[in-house]
Amino acid sequence: MSFNIGLSGIRAASSDLNITGNNIANASTVGFKSSRAEFADVYSASILGTGSNAQGSGVVLDNVAQIFTQGNINYTENSLDLAINGNGFFVTSNNGALSYTRAGYFGTNQEGFIVNNNGERLQGYGVNAVTGKLNEGVPTDLRVDTRAANPNATSKVASTLNLNSSSVRPAGAQNVYDSTFATEYNAYITDNGLDPDTLSEADAAAARAQAGTAALEAAREAARSDFDPSDSSTYNSSTSVNVYDSLGNAHVMTKYFVKTDANKWDMHVLIDGQAVAADAAGNPHQLSFDSSGALNGVKSFDLTWAPLDANGDDAGAAEQTFNLNLTGSSQYASSFGVTSVVQDGFTTGELAGLEIDDQGMLIARYTNGQTKTQGQLVLATFANQQGLKPLGDTAWAQSSSSGEPVIGAPGTGTQGLVQSGALEQSNVDLSEMLINLIVAQRNYQANAKTIQTEDAVTQTIINLR
């Protein structure tokens, strides 16, 4: 019996050495989870059970338990290197056969699918081609779309600016105003048979009112007819922004502001030098401010234009209309300035890079400055991680003991978060493993001594005469 007991101890110590050695061998394996040997004692039993003074029959390897503690996060420079901070496993598919791993070595294959070193495809939620939203609840093979981003024609421009209330009419318009005022003032006196030397205040006020109205209209017409975008003396301020046609071509839209009266301005809009008027008569857009400097009246304008190329010919893009919104603009006694400008158009762009955020969102970045969500990876958790079946290659498979996987996006439920550009290192503690080696070696030696002693006792019996 002692031979069997010693032999079981040697086997147990050998298993302990194998498990510890495997841990040490994988101390640098990304995503590796260490294991430990769990032993149980053995007693012989009869039909009626084990007696009260039963002697032990040795030891047996009861379980090889995996330790799913968090490994250290090591940062890399590859955006498709992924680490999980918290619970969960990456889900990969090999022609429909799912496996689960913590090893985040990922890249793209020749078809654009995100795969690990074994060619297994990373699973996640794809994007609906029609709505552009994630197809949540339906995991699929994640794929990087390397096609160029489609251009987007400008549909709205929002601009906030300040016009200097201290500005005066352009010189040409002011000269016309002064000349017309004098002419109309004198005409009123003459037409009404008044004596300029004995003119009453009431008659003078009436003359000024008529003259001012006519002079203002004449000045406004003069300012509009004299306006020349190449002559800065014909306008007070200007600002430009790019807008885009349906083909993704950029066009320069410039707004020129001309003061026509107190709190009133004309806004001339030109796109590539082509006037975009407020009406069929070619009049500019009119802005009006109240006495506190706030823009009132019409604050947004629909502009329709036909894109032209650099030679002034038809650019081949569709005629389009977009909205210009000046809400929030002001007229204060400070220099002209643009505080914000936003437009929603952009040209086409090539794929410049990929980013994955902590929620697992796969975001493509393009050369035109735009970004696009191309999917979201998923994580799987299990009620009993210990029940997972090791497959090798730092992967596990579902088993009846592990339970069904709970699939979800990172950061939801009990799922951990994802760190892009990083890898989770092995959770093996080398110091602990080296101590385990010593203990296992001592156990092996001690059990061998048991067999040696039993052999000596047996030899004594054999030598009896």
pLDDT at 403: 94
Evaluate whether residue 9 is within a structural domain.
Answer: yes
Cα angle value 229/232/237 (rounded, 5°): 90
Q: Are residues 103 and 141 in the same domain?
A: yes
For 205, the domain range is 168-231
pLDDT at 49: 58
Q: Which residue has the tokens 């040409």?
A: 172
Q: Are residues 62 and 77 in the same domain?
A: no
Evaluate whether residue 285 is within a structural domain.
Answer: no
pLDDT at 268: 95
Evaluate whether residue 217 is within a structural domain.
Answer: yes
- Dump the DSSP string for 17-42: HHHHHHHHHTTT-TT---EEEEEEEE
Q: Are residues 420 and 438 in the same domain?
A: no
Q: Are residues 420 and 431 in the same domain?
A: no
What single letter denotes the amino acid at residue 278? A
pLDDT at 465: 62
235-274 burial, b for 16+ CB within 10 Å, e for fewer?
bbbeeebebbbbebbebebebbbbbbeebbbbbbbbbbee
Structural domains of the chain, count: 3
Evaluate whether residue 253 is within a structural domain.
Answer: no
Q: Are residues 95 and 108 in the same domain?
A: yes
Evaluate whether residue 59 is within a structural domain.
Answer: yes
| Boundary residue ending a domain (213, 231, 249) | 231
Q: Are residues 83 and 64 in the same domain?
A: no
pLDDT at 48: 57
The pLDDT tens digits along the chain (465 residues) read 578 888 888 998 999 999 999 999 999 999 999 999 999 988 876 555 566 667 778 898 999 999 999 999 999 989 999 999 999 999 999 999 999 999 999 999 999 999 999 999 999 999 988 888 899 888 999 999 998 988 999 999 999 999 999 999 998 988 888 898 888 888 888 888 888 878 788 888 888 888 888 888 888 888 888 999 999 999 999 999 999 999 999 999 999 999 999 999 999 999 998 899 888 888 899 999 999 999 998 899 999 999 988 887 887 888 899 999 999 999 999 999 999 999 999 999 999 999 999 999 999 999 998 999 999 999 999 999 999 999 999 999 999 999 999 999 999 999 999 999 999 999 999 999 999 999 999 989 988 888 888 878 888 888 876
Q: Are residues 99 and 57 in the same domain?
A: no
Evaluate whether residue 450 is within a structural domain.
Answer: yes
Q: Are residues 137 and 85 in the same domain?
A: yes
| Boundary residue ending a domain (231, 253, 280) | 231
- In whole angstroms, what is the distance from residue 385 CA to residue 215 CA? 88
| Boundary residue ending a domain (231, 254, 286) | 231
Evaluate whether residue 156 is within a structural domain.
Answer: no
Q: Are residues 393 and 456 in the same domain?
A: no
Evaluate whether residue 268 is within a structural domain.
Answer: no
